[in-house]
Amino acid sequence: MQSNDFAFKEIMDIAPNPIFIYADQKIIYVNHEAVKLINAVKKEDLLGKPFIGFIHPDSIQSVTQSMKELIENKKPIVKLYQKIITLTNEIIEVEVSASITNINNQQAIIGIANDLTSIKKLNKLLIEKDEKLTSIIQQIPHLLFFITKKGIIKEFYNAHKIQLYTEPEKFLNKNISEVLPYDVSAKIHEKIETLCITNKTQKIEYELTIENQTQHYQAYLIPYKENEILVSILEMRVDEYLFKTLFTESFSIKLIIDPTTGNILNANKAACNFYGYTHDEITHLNINQINTMTDEEIKIAIQEAKTGQRNFFRFKHRLKNGEIKHVEVYSSKLILNNQEVLYSIVHDKTDVVLSEQKFKNLFDNLIEAYALNEIITDKNGKPVDYRFIEINEAFLSLTHTNSKEEIIGKTVKELWPETEQYWIEIYGKVALENQRLSFENYWKVLDRWYLVNAYSPQKGQFAVSFIDITKLKKTQEQLLLFEKAIQNVPVSIVITDVYGTIQYVNPYFSQITGYSVQEAIGQNPKILQSGKHHQDFYKQLWETILSGETWVGELYNKKKDGTFYWESARISPILNKESNEITNFVVVKLDVTKQKQMQEDLLRAKEKAEQSEKLKANFLANMSHEIRTPLNSIIGFTEILKHTPTTEEERQKYLHVISQSSDRLFNLINDILEVSKINAGEIKIENNTIEVEKEFSLLYENFLLEAQVKDLKLLLNPTYPERLLIETDKSKFLSIVTNLVKNAIKYTHKGFVEFGYVYQNEHIEIIVNDTGIGIPKEKHDIIFNRFMQVDNRADKPYEGVGLGLSIVKAYVEMLHGTIELSSEKDKGTTFKVKLPAKQQSTIENQTQEEQAVIATQHHPCEQILIVEDDKASASLLDYHLSKYCKKTIVADSVLEALEIFKTKKFKIVFTDIKLPDMNGFELIKKIKTVNPSVIVVAQSGFAMEDDIKAALSEGFDFYLTKPISEKAIHQIMSEILKIKN
C-alpha cells in the first residue's frame, strides 16, 4: 500500500461501518467493525478466505450478479441487500454499498456494510413498545389531558369514555379556571405551582357534580415537557371511594386476599404496621405465610368465608419478626374490580386472649356489654357512622341480637338505621378526640336505657361498655313514685328482713309510734308489743307469714311514750322470685284506736242501753212493788182502824204495821232522794265528832228487835277497848253502818249478824259479818251499782230496790275510804269499810238534842205561823212545832196567811212552796217587806238542790224537805232559837 493508501487504511480501520475488500476470490482486508459483524475474533480469521463463503444461500445469486456487474463495469457502484452467516452461524442482514477499486494493480471490490439487524430489532421494539403503550393507555381508565403550566387545556384522551364535565369544544384551549368550579380549579392551580417548583408529580382529589351526581376524582399532574403537564384523571367509583376510606385509610388492620390462591392482594397501612412488612412485602405474601394453621385448614377457612358459611374466625398470625399474635378475623366476600376477593378485618386479640386465659373468658362473661368500634368519617372528617369491630356475649343479650357474626363488621346504620346522628357524633368525639365519656343513654330503637362508658383505645376507634339499666330506670321511677307515696300515706309502713329486723319505716310510723326512723331501724317490731296479746297470738302470726301467707289482724300495741293503741295490720312476706325464699316482710298498719274506741264505746253504750232498759223495767217493777206493798198496809190498816171497831190490842198491832210500812216507804224515798243528790253532786262533807261506841250501841239497840224477829243473833263487836271519839261526817258514817247491818239482817235467815269496828293508824274499820245467803263472786262488782241486785226478779223474796250499797259506796269514796267484800254464795258475807278518821280527845259540840232542850228552856217562842194547804202535813207540823212554841196558827193559803200576818206578830213562819192561790216565794216577798227580820222556813216536797238554792236565794232562811222528820225540825228549831239567843 502506498502512503496515502496507508492513511486510507487507517481511516477504514476506525470507520463505524464494517468494510471488506475482496480481490481475486479472496478477502484481502477487513476492518474492526467487519470482524465484529462476522463474530470473528481477529482480522486473520477472515483474511484470505473466499468472501462468498460468508454469504447466506438466499443472497448468493444477487451478490454474484452484483459483483459481475461491477467487474464488467456496467455500474460503478451497487447497493445490495444480503444476508451474511457469521462465524458463530448467526444470520445477519446487511445492506452493502460496493464499488470497484484498484489495489496493487489488481481489481478489487470494496464493500461497506450497514448492519440492518439492530435497526430492524430497534424498529420492531419500537413498534412493540408503541403497541404496548397504546394498549396500556387503553387499559388505564384514565382521562388524559395535556395542559400548559398556565392551565390551558391543550389536548385530551378519553379512551374509556368517561363522562366529561362539559363538551370538548367548551374546554379545549380554555383555562381550567374558566371551565371548572372555582374550588377545583384553585386546587389544581395550587398543585401546578408546586409542580413547577419541585418538578415532581402532584396528586389531587376533588369532586364534581355532573348531572346531579357527585363524582369523586383522583388526578395526577405529571411534568411532561418544559411547558406542558400531563394530567391523568381517574374517576373513582363510589365503592372505590368508600373502599379507599374504609380500607386504605382505616385504622383497623385490613387485608384483601385472593380466595383462590390465598395471596395477599392488598393490605392497609394499619396491617403493614401490625405485621411489620412494607406494603410491597406484604402484597407478595400468601396468607399461609402469616396464618399459623396448616394449608388445608386455611383453605377450609377461606372457603367458609367465601361462601358466607362463616365470617368470624380466631387465628394465630405470625408477624415479620416471628412473634405470634392471637387475632380475631372477620372475613367476607367482596367483588373488587370484577374480582372476587376476601375482605378481612383483623383484630389483635393477643392481650384479650392472654387475659382470657387468665380470667377465664372474663370478657364474654362480663355482665357489661362491650363493643369496640371503628368510627367512619366523611371526606371532611365528620363522623357519619361506625362499625362494630368486636363485641362480647353480653352485647348480644343487651341489644337483643343473636350472634356476633350478625354484628361484627357491620355499621350501626346498617344494623339500626334509625340510630340518632348525635350518638355517632358523640362517639366520633370519643374516637377522634380521645374523650372519655360516661352517661346514661336512652336508645329509642330498642326503647331501653343503658349506662355507657366510652373511651378510645386508639385513634379512630372507640370502645363502649354498657349495662342495661332500663329495669333499674323503670324501677327507679316506680320506686320514686312508691317512695313518694309511702312517705306520705297516713299509714304506717315497716319493712323488715326475714328475722324481723326493721330495715325501713315511713314517717307516719314515727308519727304514730314516737320512734324516729333512726331509732326504729335495726330494732325488732317487738318494741311495740303491749304485752296484752297472748304469746299464741304472735305464734300464729309468725306461722302465717313464714308459710308465705299474708297475716291480717288487729294489734294492740304500745307507743314509745307508753300509751297503747290499736292497729289494723297486714303483714305480707316478700318472696325472692327465683329461689322463692322469703327475703322480707312488709307491714302495713292503720291506727284504728279511735275506731276501736268508738266501737267499744258503742258496744258499751249498747250494753248500757240494754242494761238500762232492763234495769228500768226491773226498777219500775221493783219500785211499784216497794211502794205499793207498804202503802197497801198503811191504807188497809188505816181503813180498818177508821171503820172497824177494834180492841186496844188489835189497834196497837195495826198501828205497828202502819208505822213499819211508813218507815219502809220513808226509807225508800229517802234512798231515792239521797241517790239523786249524790248524782247531782250536791252532797257536802261535814266534820262532826262521833262517839263511836255510843253510836254503835244505839244502832245495836235499833236493830236488835229486827234480828230477834228473824231469830238471829245480833252481835256488837267493838274491839277498841276505850271510849273512842273520831272526826268524820256523822250522817254518812251512820248511813254506811246502818245500810250494811240492815242488809246483813235482811239477807240472813239463820245464824248471826255481827258488827263492830277497829281503830288503827287514824283509820276506823267497820266490819259487818253475817251467816246469810252470801253473794256469788261474779256479782261482787255489780252490787255496788244502783238498782243492782243479786236477785232482780220482781217477785223476789227481799225488800229493797238496790240502792243501799250504791249509797254506801258513794259515801265511802267521799270520805276517802275503801270498801271490801268477801262472800260466797251460801257462805255468809263480810263487808269491811276503812275510813280515815282522826281521833278526838273531847266532844266540842253538844248534841243537837241537848242544845235544843237548852234553847227551849231559855228562849221559848211565842207563836209560829204555818202556811200549808195539806191538812195532814199542817197538823203534823203543828204537832212537832208545838214542842218548841206556845202557839201555832195554820193558814191554808197565801191570802189567809197575809191576813193573819197583818193582825198578829210572828217571828217564825213555816210555809209550803206550792200553795193553791200563790206560791211561797210571793208570800215571803210580801211578809219580808212588812217584817224583814221574820224567819221563814220553807217546807216542801221539792227536794232538789236547785229548788232549795232558789228558795234560799229568795229569802227563805231554812228549807225543810218533806217528809218532815222530827229530827229535821229539831235541827232547824235549835238553829233558830240559837240565833235568837
Q: Which stretch binds ligand ADP (CB under 6 A): 543-551, 769-777, 854-862, 918-926?
A: 769-777
Question: What minimum distance in Å lies between the beta carbon of 962 and ligand ADP?
Answer: 23
Q: DSSP letters of 221-262?
A: EEE-SSSEEEEEEEEEPHHHHHHIIIIIT-SSEEEEE-TTT-
Q: Residue 588 or residue 803: which is nearer to ligand ADP going by CB?
A: 803
Question: What minimum distance in Å lies between the beta carbon of 800 and ligand ADP?
Answer: 2
How far is Cα of residue 619 from the mean position of the Cα atoms in its chain? 66
Question: What minimum distance in Å lies between the beta carbon of 783 and ligand ADP?
Answer: 4
* Residue 105: strand, helix, or coil: coil
Q: Residue 573 or residue 802: which is nearer to ligand ADP going by CB?
A: 802
* Residue 560: strand, helix, or coil: coil
Q: Residue 762 or residue 781: which is nearer to ligand ADP going by CB?
A: 781
Q: Does 802 bind ligand ADP (CB under 6 A)?
A: yes
Q: Which stretch binds ligand ADP (CB under 6 A): 225-233, 331-339, 551-559, 788-796?
A: 788-796
Q: Residue 204 or residue 768: which is nearer to ligand ADP going by CB?
A: 768
Q: Which stretch binds ligand ADP (CB under 6 A): 191-199, 333-341, 725-733, 740-748?
A: 740-748
Indicate if the alpha-carbon torsion angle 793, 797, 801, 804 is positive or negative: negative
Q: Residue 399 or residue 743: which is nearer to ligand ADP going by CB?
A: 743
Question: What minimum distance in Å lies between the beta carbon of 676 and ligand ADP?
Answer: 15
Q: Which of 262, 573, 800, 817 binds ligand ADP (CB under 6 A)?
A: 800
Question: What minimum distance in Å lies between the beta carbon of 693 and ligand ADP?
Answer: 23
Q: Does 770 bind ligand ADP (CB under 6 A)?
A: yes
Residue 812 burial (CB count, 10 A): 20
Q: Does 790 bind ligand ADP (CB under 6 A)?
A: yes
Q: Which stretch binds ligand ADP (CB under 6 A): 303-311, 572-580, 676-684, 797-805?
A: 797-805
Q: Does 714 bind ligand ADP (CB under 6 A)?
A: no
**Contact between 575 and 582 (Cβ < 8 Å):** yes
Q: Residue 623 or residue 898: which is nearer to ligand ADP going by CB?
A: 623
Q: Residue 765 or residue 770: which is nearer to ligand ADP going by CB?
A: 770
Q: Residue 331 or residue 769: which is nearer to ligand ADP going by CB?
A: 769
Q: Residue 773 or residue 866: which is nearer to ligand ADP going by CB?
A: 773
Q: Residue 264 or residue 788: which is nearer to ligand ADP going by CB?
A: 788
Question: What minimum distance in Å lies between the beta carbon of 905 and ligand ADP?
Answer: 49
Q: Does 817 bind ligand ADP (CB under 6 A)?
A: no
Q: Which stretch binds ligand ADP (CB under 6 A): 76-84, 88-96, 219-227, 795-803?
A: 795-803
Q: Give me the amino acid identity at 331.
A: S
| d(C-alpha 621, C-alpha 241), whole Å | 120
Residues with Cβ < 8 Å from 249, sequence gap 6 or more? 268, 269
Q: Residue 429 or residue 796: which is nearer to ligand ADP going by CB?
A: 796
Question: What minimum distance in Å lies between the beta carbon of 802 and ligand ADP?
Answer: 4
| d(C-alpha 505, C-alpha 502), whole Å | 7
Interface with ligand ADP (CB under 6 A), residue total: 20
- Cα angle 594, 597, 603; round to 5: 140
Work out whether strand 838-839 and strand 829-836 pair parallel, antiparallel, or are unpaired.
Answer: unpaired
Q: Give me the amino acid identity at 799.
A: E
User: If 0-12 CB within 10 Å is exposed, 13-18 middle and 19+ buried, where does residue 387 land?
Assistant: buried
Q: Which of 112, 342, 724, 803 binds ligand ADP (CB under 6 A)?
A: 803
Q: Does 668 bind ligand ADP (CB under 6 A)?
A: no
Q: Does 675 bind ligand ADP (CB under 6 A)?
A: no
State the number of CA atoms in the 13 A half-sphere of 827 facing the CB: 7
| d(C-alpha 56, C-alpha 19), whole Å | 18
| d(C-alpha 195, C-alpha 192), whole Å | 5
Q: Which of 37, 305, 376, 744 binds ligand ADP (CB under 6 A)?
A: 744
Question: What minimum distance in Å lies between the beta carbon of 708 and ligand ADP?
Answer: 18
| d(C-alpha 539, C-alpha 262), whole Å | 80
Q: Does 805 bind ligand ADP (CB under 6 A)?
A: yes
| d(C-alpha 957, C-alpha 975), whole Å | 11
Q: Residue 352 or residue 736: which is nearer to ligand ADP going by CB?
A: 736
Q: Residue 802 or residue 817: which is nearer to ligand ADP going by CB?
A: 802
Question: What minimum distance in Å lies between the beta carbon of 729 and ligand ADP?
Answer: 20
Which DSSP helix (H) or strand (E) runs through 583? strand 582-591
| d(C-alpha 635, C-alpha 640), whole Å | 9
Q: Does 789 bind ligand ADP (CB under 6 A)?
A: yes
Query: Sheet holding 153-157: strands in order across?
Result: 153-157, 142-148, 228-236, 213-223, 202-210
Q: Does 908 bind ligand ADP (CB under 6 A)?
A: no
Residue 139 phi/psi, 5-degree rounding, is -75, -35
In the complex, residue closest to ligand ADP by CB? 800
**Contact between 363 and 351 (Cβ < 8 Å):** no
Q: Does 773 bind ligand ADP (CB under 6 A)?
A: yes
List Cα–Cα distances, 467 to 394, 448, 449, in angstroms: 9, 10, 8
Q: Which of 637, 747, 755, 958 binds ligand ADP (CB under 6 A)?
A: 747
Q: Which of 111, 772, 817, 920 binds ligand ADP (CB under 6 A)?
A: 772
Q: Residue 241 or residue 752: which is nearer to ligand ADP going by CB?
A: 752
Q: Which of 341, 394, 764, 775 binds ligand ADP (CB under 6 A)?
A: 775
Residue 568 phi/psi, 5-degree rounding, is -95, 125
User: If 0-12 CB within 10 Å is exposed, 13-18 middle and 19+ buried, where does residue 25 land?
Assistant: exposed
The secondary structure of residue 411, as a DSSP letter, is B
Q: Does 253 bind ligand ADP (CB under 6 A)?
A: no
- Cα angle 877, 881, 882; round to 5: 115
Q: Which of 55, 78, 469, 783 binds ligand ADP (CB under 6 A)?
A: 783
Q: Which of 465, 806, 939, 974 binds ligand ADP (CB under 6 A)?
A: 806
Question: What minimum distance in Å lies between the beta carbon of 660 and ligand ADP?
Answer: 16
List Cα–Cα distances, 793 to 614, 777, 786, 796, 826, in angstroms: 11, 19, 15, 5, 19
Instruction: Sketch the per residue contact string, 444 through 483, with ligand ADP: x for CB under 6 A, - otherwise.
Output: ----------------------------------------
Q: Residue 130 or residue 791: which is nearer to ligand ADP going by CB?
A: 791
Residues with Cβ < 8 Å from 36, sequence gap 6 or more? 18
Q: Which of residues 829-848 bind ligand ADP (CB under 6 A)?
A: 829
User: What's the grid cell of residue 956?
Assistant: 227563805
Q: Which of 59, 618, 661, 743 binds ligand ADP (CB under 6 A)?
A: 743
Q: Residue 262 or residue 800: which is nearer to ligand ADP going by CB?
A: 800
| d(C-alpha 159, C-alpha 196), whole Å | 28
**Contact between 265 and 256 (Cβ < 8 Å):** yes
Q: Residue 634 or residue 807: which is nearer to ligand ADP going by CB?
A: 807
Work out whether strand 958-961 and strand 935-940 pair parallel, antiparallel, or are unpaired.
Answer: parallel
Q: Which stretch binds ligand ADP (CB under 6 A): 81-89, 251-259, 346-354, 789-797?
A: 789-797
Q: Residue 440 or residue 663: which is nearer to ligand ADP going by CB?
A: 663
Q: Does 630 bind ligand ADP (CB under 6 A)?
A: no
**Partners of 81 in the beta sheet?**
95
**Contact between 728 and 815 (Cβ < 8 Å):** yes
**Interface contacts to ligand ADP, rule CB under 6 A:** 743-744, 747, 770, 772-775, 783, 789-791, 800-806, 829
